[in-house]
Amino acid sequence: MKRMLSMIMIVSVVLLSIVGCTSTGQQDAGTASGDNGDKEKKKIKIDMMIASWKGGGWPDNNHPIIKHINEKFNVDLQIQWVPNANFAEKLNVIAASGKLPDVIRMDSPSLYLKWVEQGVFLDLKPHLAEYSSLQNIAKPEEWALLNPKDQIFGIPIYATAQNTIYVREDWLAKLDIPIPTAEEFTIDKFYEIAKAFTTQDPDGNGKNDTFGFSALGNSSLFGIPELFAAFGLANGWKEEGGQLIPMQVQSDEWKAFLTFMSRAYKEGVLDKDFITNTNFNEKYAQGKVGFADMHYQFSQQTNQQLQTISPGADFVELSPPMGNNGSRGNSTPTSGTIKVVLSKDVDDQKRDRILQLFDWWVSPEGEDILKNGIENIHYKKNSSGAYEMTGELKAEGEGRQSLLWNWVLRNNNNTFNTYKWSDPTWAKEMEQSIANAGKYPYKNASDAYIFSSRTYLEKGSALNESFHKTVIEIIAGKKPIESIDHAITEWKSNGGDKIIEEVNAAFTANK
């Protein structure tokens, strides 16, 4: 005890003396330049903090596209790329230091809501009318999403359905099964074909090593939401009779779905590894699975890999399978749950400059530069007059020039992954496949309200996790199908009922 006391004394004496020495203020000078001349001409520094994904951001802020922007708008664009896994941590730490970056992309709706309440973002509503291109990238309800009435704190990021079910066309041909049309493609048909893929050796290697479809046991909706849609289960939540209903309480739908899935597991139609799978990329490229959940670009990449192993292998697009009561869907994200925000500390002049920049950014001219890059650096015209990637971009990787477009802000065109040099058939098919996926919307009705539920924020993930566990156990044949009812009761009584109540309160309040 004595030594603890003396330690505390030593520490506090030194602490006091240090605090005394350093507390003489030191404030960042902020934007320098005492020039009071033409305000439009003043160079403005803009800090952006953006989450980076696989491959990371650009190595420095001298990228040709950034240089182009700097010159065009007389700004000094400073982008901080933070790996997505650590983004929230770093953002919180920076927030604690009292000065947010000027522009932030908020990928987490719950943090967005929390910080809107704290009033740290700039209200864009009074200024938007001046910037028509920017205003047109989203519908009014998408601008309003997650915002208080009459205020808009973030620019909504456009999101669209892309994924659907794909099938190995070469396998179908081998087994003499015609490609099912949208009307024919029922969930029973899906199972019948999947079973044939499992038992009739579609890759012709004489081994019983293929299966119908795979799944990601650790991800929401198993990474294959079309199956949930076919059984009428909600994509999280659905609206019915003016009420929002969570998927967890849909007892009958669950039983039908689980019967289907557990049979698939037992018969080897469902990948036996589905619980430990973390991604589909390798599964599909290995050529052992017949149905896939992917989007067009993913399918093209997979086909390329597949064909090095077995020539002729080809994944082609299908409609989502149709359930017995006609329900079907491709998971459709809600545009505007991800926002780009401006810090409230941004002064008027800087705010105008940023909004001018963004207004140009989403215009056709800006899109051209931000998506395709700079001519003669990222792409060039070849002798026949068509565009092609330069060697440098090829070495860096196609798409690496579009980071500002795809990771920061983009407009609502469905061409975000087609470039000037893209094969025209490819580009057309890509756009078509996005249009197709949009035909069967399958939305989470709670996206705007779920984060208003305090119980959900505190207990939601733990509740869903233990519910999810029962689902997996039933599929893997460890528990009978009826045990889902027990899981439903547990989910409801441990906080689920409260979540339903709170989410519906937010829902009705907003109507």
Site for another protein in 450-469 (CB under 8 A): 457-459, 461-462, 465-466, 468-469
By CB under 8 A, tell whether 10 contacts another protein. yes
Site string for another protein, 472-511 (x = CB under 8 A): xx--x-x---------------x-----------------
Among 111, 128, 179, 374, binds another protein (CB under 8 A): 111
Q: Which is nearer to another protein, 162 or 355 (CB)?
A: 162
Among 84, 133, 151, 483, binds another protein (CB under 8 A): 84
Rule CB under 8 A: is residue 288 a binding residue for another protein? yes
**Can residue 60 be called a binding residue for another protein (CB under 8 A)?**
yes
β partners of residue 78: 47
Site membership for another protein, residue 282 (CB under 8 A): yes
Q: How many CA atoms lie within 13 A of 470 on its CB side?
A: 19
Q: Would you count residue 70 as binding another protein (CB under 8 A)?
A: no
For 511, the 3-state DSSP assignment is coil
Q: Please choose, out of 36-44, 138-146, 280-288, 351-359, the segment that lies near another protein by the rule CB under 8 A.
A: 280-288
Of 70, 108, 363, 413, the residue at the interface with another protein (CB under 8 A) is 108
85 touches another protein (CB under 8 A): yes
Pick from 147, 128, 146, 127: which is nearest to 136 by CA? Answer: 128
User: What separation in angstroms does the CA of 126 have from each of 12, 117, 120?
Assistant: 51, 19, 17
Indicate the burial class of 397 (C-beta count within 10 angstroms; 0-12, 13-18, 19 or more). Answer: exposed
Kindly state the helix (H) or strand (E) to which residue 466 belongs, with its residue range. Answer: helix 461-475
* Angle of helix 461-475 versus helix 251-266 axis, rounded to 10: 50
The continuous run of DSSP H or E covering 141 comes out as helix 140-144
Does 301 contact another protein by CB under 8 A? yes
Would you say 4 or 129 has its CB closer to another protein? 4
Q: Does 218 bind another protein (CB under 8 A)?
A: yes
Query: For residues 100 and 245, which CB has a smaller minimum distance to another protein in the complex?
Result: 100
Q: Residues 298-307, buried b or exposed e (16+ Cβ, 10 A)?
A: bbeebbeebe
User: What does the block give as tokens for 337?
Assistant: 């749950």
Residue 26 as a binder of another protein (CB under 8 A): the answer is: yes
**Identity at 455, one-letter amino acid code:** T
Which residues have CB under 8 Å from 378's CB, separation 6+? 64, 372, 389, 390, 392, 393, 401
Number of residues that bind another protein (CB under 8 A): 109
Find out whether 218 and 244 touch, Cβ atoms under 8 Å: no
Among positions 162-201, residues that touch another protein (CB under 8 A) are: 162-163
Nearer to another protein, 103 or 355 (CB): 103
Q: Looking at 193-201, 241-249, 296-304, 356-364, which segment touches another protein (CB under 8 A)?
A: 296-304
Cβ atoms of 291 and 211 closer than 8 Å: no
Q: Residue 24 interacts with another protein (CB under 8 A)?
A: no
The residue from 45, 255, 263, 400 that contacts another protein (CB under 8 A) is 400
Please say which residue, 355 or 471, places its beta carbon nearer to another protein.
Answer: 471
Please report whether residue 366 would count as binding another protein according to CB under 8 A: no
Question: Which residue of 69, 165, 292, 403 would you call a contact of another protein, by CB under 8 A?
Answer: 403
| First-to-last C-alpha distance (Å) of the chain | 62
